[in-house]
Chain A
Amino acid sequence: MTLVIVAASVLILGAILACLVPSNGHRAAISIVSQALATALVEWAVLPVLFGAAELRSSFVRPPPVDEVALRVDALSAFFLAFSLPMTLLGSIYALGYLEAYFKKARHVGFHFALLNLTSLAFILIYALRNGLVFFFGWELAAISAWLLVIWDYPNQRIRFAGFNYLVSTHFSFLFLLAGFLVIHARTRSWDFDSFAAFLHQPSLARSVTFVLLMTSFGLKSAFFPFFHTWLPRAHSAAPAHVSALMSGVIHKAGLYGMVRVMTLVGEPEEWMGWYVIAFSATSAVGGVLYTAAQRDLKRLLGYSSTENVGIAGMGFGIGCLGLTWHNPTLATLGFAGGILHVLNHATFKCLLFYGAGSIYRMTHTIDLERLGGLAKKMPLTALFFLVGGVAISALPPLNGFVSELCIYAGLLGASASGVARGLLVGTAAVLAFVGAVSALSMTRAFGLSFLGAPRDPTATAHGEAPRSMLFTMALHAAGVVVLGLVPATGLSLVREPSRFVLAGAAPSAVIEQALATPLEILAPVARVGAILVATLATLALLRALLVRASRVHVTWGCGYTRVSPRMQYSGSSFSAQFRAFFGAILPLLRREKLPIGPFPATGEIKTHCVDAVERRMFKVLGEGEATIRRLVERISDDARLSFAAGLAVLVVVMGVVVMGARP
């Protein structure tokens, strides 16, 4: 446990030094070295716990109201710590290449790297500490560091607005968290999570209310659709690529950690809790994936894809909850193992995809799919890594997305319920299949439009491959994706202990042992199929090499057109046109046009943009509401009689409430 505390101090020291040291290169170096050291220390302390050692315990006492601060790293916290810190480190290494241009200018990059250190520190606080107040502190630290990281490009007003939007939303999440914890604190008079557990084990109205409040808070943090995600696309589009990657891949997983932690504290959830989580996760998955199909901004697309994937992980947790309610350890294992593994898998391939998008932006200075094209020839390595990430996020075998989704499918399609419940679970499996197919559509579109074909805008060409630090980070993530996919046993061994922790006490240990072996039983044949697929592919490639001795090069067949231009290629909006039109109610299209008119027309243009329906409605309602109230208030201020009447009305209402409340 001391190692973790030392790691935290190293991070703080590194952050301070990174701000003070003179040269930009040294600042970045200090930050990365301190993060590397802290990561090594934490991994050393935490990996044994992840593989079965006893949990780390420590505590120190502070004066009231904080009281005792318990530090405890059990298997669940160990899992989250084990991937969060290394990924933040990789993000910082990526930032070296991404922010390279700023290093020579007068811009002080030390603050940015110091914030990355503080983010790692926030993870340690959130995942290792068991005190409610300190949890708030860690939550806030993560939120504020993320906000400051997002507005790296603050001279641009849109980016400032995106950051502000993010800040407000994350504080809404904090408000709900505060409300939930305060309700519990009022009942238990303590901030320690163990006393929370004692309260949450008893079914009561307060527990149900708290559950909903906390789920709302974590839903806001992790950006579940449909009401809690509106900040995500803007923030991801505005932030530098490594910040978007870290936000999507690591910081917002804290929300999912919160969900699982609450479920373990509740012990034996009621049935409605599991269905509630499945329902809003499924909505999130479908809503998120529909939006990915129609975006033209690559980072926005990836942001919506994060909404989709946390929905999938949430579905896993919901199934696990149902398993706990129905006393079915196999179902619970499949659900929680699938969900927790999906958290890791998503972190791996989402960071990879964002890093790829960052490479594109760095080399072409645009992220607009309608302008890109043909980058695979100039940036072959980035193309390869992005393809690996794209195939993984569409949950296609043999990569890692499929491994976690198969666990969730096994939970949904297995023989664990009867009647209407079984029908609903099969329906959810169909929803998951739809999500997978649409995700494949949007990833084909994203990869195909940016890397394949020819550049749709001649100015959007890359002049070379991305810098080495960026390629290095992407290579590591791609390797992780491939290994976790081809050898499912690696991923499953990582989630075995966290699943055991979540299931603890739900059944006799022999039954739990048997249940914990189920995911590996299901996935072992899949590993064989993956190997067979790779072998078949290799054989076919060999055959092709033998058959194809020479080949000719010619132009793409143009059906008789002699002046084929790259602008004639299918664009992003055309690719998803039919799909988007089918879901037009959820995917509104904003169209701005200036059509050429008359016999000698000037140039015309059409711009289409798929906007977020929920966000538009929300702004409309808020804006109109504010305008209405302001008009009303101004009228009242001018008219004395109206103000008297309004005041009297309010007075009557208030006195009525007081009188009714005072009655015994």
Chain B
Amino acid sequence: MNAWAALHVALLLVGPIYFVGIVNRTKSIWGGRRGPRLDQLFHDLVRLLRKEPVYSETTSVLVRAGPLVALATAIVAAAIAPVVSGYSILSFPYDFVVFAYLLGLGRMFLMLAALDTGSAFEGMGASREATFASFIEPAFFLTLGSFAVLSGESSFVRILAPSGHLGAGVIFGFVALLIFLQIEAARIPVDDPNTHLELTMIHEVMILDHSGPDLAALQTAAALKMFTCAGILAAVLNPFGIETHPAAATVTSIALIAATGVGVGLVESLVARLRMSALPRYALVAVLASVVSVGLVVLRGGNA
């Protein structure tokens, strides 16, 4: 599968940029504008890499290490999850547990880098991020646990491989994973990436004091995480398996990811951000959906 590995890596490098481009383009078109180029993120990153960073005098080494850890964990997590065409570079039993905890590691260092600046705003963002993440983790595990039971497999790729086992549980799992994407990637209705009011930010406020290559690393990590989550959603819906129909699987997967990007953009344009106090309840919707998913598993008698 080496050709697939190479293709997968290439798509992972290029995909996030175009995914962010698609989302922003959709938002712009819906707002009556033409919008930025599809590869605008790439140009932004190049520009940031050339800049000289400014560090606050309150900070220690953590604000310099945080972005690196966030990016490293995002990369390794993307290597584990089945992103494009339902294939992943690293696949082994219970890798979805490693996936979730790697994202947790990245999140922890992001929050620590935010607290390092000694700014009230960044502390606020860290607090919110931590709270909402703790509500969405059980939903992720319940969903993937129920998928694992239904498919009888234990690794991420094989759980989501299309085999007709998933049945009605797919809908609920899809809803839970969609909310998971919105919380992980900080999109509407959880967080607004375009807001300029610190009191309403979650993710954006944590990176206020980062600049230059650090900011580039954080933006890459965020784009990669969003792309990974979109890839997981696409893998859930993809009817073709990479074993049987590789080309069809790849094309469908890319199309589904693009569709997810358009969908995210549409949600951003049409739906308002939820009130901060309502967000735990929104995360609980995900948990409920995944609980229903598990309930379906139990009703079907499970898989011994």
Q: A residues engaging B (CB < 8 A)?
A: 373-374, 376-377, 380, 383, 387, 391, 394-397, 402, 406, 409-410, 413-415, 417-420, 422-423, 426-427, 429-434, 436-438, 440-441, 443-445, 447-449, 451-454, 521-522, 525-526, 528-529, 532-533, 536-537, 540-541, 544, 547-559, 566, 568-570, 574-579, 582
The count of residues in chain B whose C-beta lies closer than 8 Å to any C-beta of chain A is 88
Residues of A contacting B180 with CB < 8 Å? none
Instruction: Assess whether A414 is in contact with B154, with CB atoms less than 8 Å apart.
Output: yes
Instruction: Assess whether B58 is in contact with A559, with CB atoms less than 8 Å apart.
Output: no
Give bound CA distance, A546 to B130, whole Å: 32
Interface of B is mostly: helix
Q: Nearest Cβ in chain A — how far from B208, in angstroms?
A: 6
Partner of B118, one of A410, A454, A532, A577: A454
Q: B residues engaging A (CB < 8 A)?
A: 49, 52-62, 64, 68-69, 71-73, 75-76, 79-80, 90, 92-95, 97-98, 100-102, 104-105, 107-108, 111-112, 115-124, 126-128, 130-131, 133-134, 137-142, 145-146, 148-149, 152, 154, 198, 208-209, 212-214, 217, 276-277, 280, 287, 290-291, 294-295, 297-298, 301-304
Q: Nearest Cβ in chain A — how far from B283, in angstroms?
A: 10
Instruction: Assess whether B54 is in contact with A577, with CB atoms less than 8 Å apart.
Output: no
Instruction: Assess whether B133 is in contact with A540, with CB atoms less than 8 Å apart.
Output: no
Give bound CA distance, A160 to B302, whole Å: 54
Minimal Cβ-Cβ distance residue in B for A543: B213
Minimal Cβ-Cβ distance residue in A for B102: A397
Give bound CA distance, A429 to B276, whole Å: 28
Top 9 A-B residue pairs of the complex, sorted by shortest distance between their CB atoms: A570-B123, A448-B115, A453-B118, A525-B92, A426-B145, A437-B134, A430-B138, A423-B298, A441-B130
Instruction: Assess whether A418 is in contact with B104, with CB atoms less than 8 Å apart.
Output: no
Of the A-B pairs whose beta carbons lie under 8 Å apart in the complex, a sample of 18, sorted by A's number, is A373-B118, A376-B61, A397-B105, A427-B294, A430-B141, A430-B287, A434-B137, A437-B138, A444-B126, A452-B118, A525-B90, A547-B213, A553-B57, A556-B58, A557-B208, A570-B123, A570-B127, A578-B127
Give bound CA distance, A504 to B136, whole Å: 40
Number of A-B pairs, beta carbon distance below 8 Å:
260
Q: Nearest Cβ in chain A — how far from B97, in angstroms?
A: 5
Give bound CA distance, A444 to B287, whole Å: 24
Minimal Cβ-Cβ distance residue in B for A447: B112
Residues of B contacting A569 with CB < 8 Å? 118-120, 123
Give bound CA distance, A443 to B98, whole Å: 19
Give bound CA distance, A231 to B291, whole Å: 35
Residues of B contacting A394 with CB < 8 Å? 104, 108
Instruction: Assess whether B295 is in contact with A434, with CB atoms less than 8 Å apart.
Output: no
Instruction: Assess whether A570 is in contact with B126, with CB atoms less than 8 Å apart.
Output: yes
Residues of A contacting B146 with CB < 8 Å? 426
Q: Nearest Cβ in chain B — how far from A413, in angstroms?
A: 5
Residues of B contacting A438 with CB < 8 Å? 134
Instruction: Assess whether A423 is in contact with B137, with CB atoms less than 8 Å apart.
Output: no
Instruction: Assess whether B76 is in contact with A555, with CB atoms less than 8 Å apart.
Output: no
Interface centre among B54, B98, B212, B217 (most CB of A within 10 A): B98
Give bound CA distance, A419 to B299, whole Å: 7
Minimal Cβ-Cβ distance residue in B for A518: B93
Q: Nearest Cβ in chain B — how far from A210, in angstroms?
A: 33
Instruction: Assess whether B127 is in contact with A575, with CB atoms less than 8 Å apart.
Output: yes
Residues of B contacting A451 with CB < 8 Å? 60
Give bound CA distance, A431 to B134, whole Å: 11
Instruction: Assess whether B295 is in contact with A423, with CB atoms less than 8 Å apart.
Output: yes
Please judge, given known A-B contacts A406-B94, A433-B138, A537-B72, whether A554 and B56 are in contact too, CB under 8 Å: yes
Instruction: Assess whether A426 is in contact with B137, with CB atoms less than 8 Å apart.
Output: no
Residues of A contacting B148 with CB < 8 Å? 413
Partner of B56, one of A377, A431, A555, A574: A555
Please judge, given known A-B contacts A394-B108, A554-B54, whether A544 and B213 are in contact too, CB under 8 Å: yes
Residues of B contacting A540 with CB < 8 Å? 68, 71-72, 217
Instruction: Assess whether A544 is in contact with B68, with CB atoms less than 8 Å apart.
Output: yes
Residues of A contacting B208 with CB < 8 Å? 557
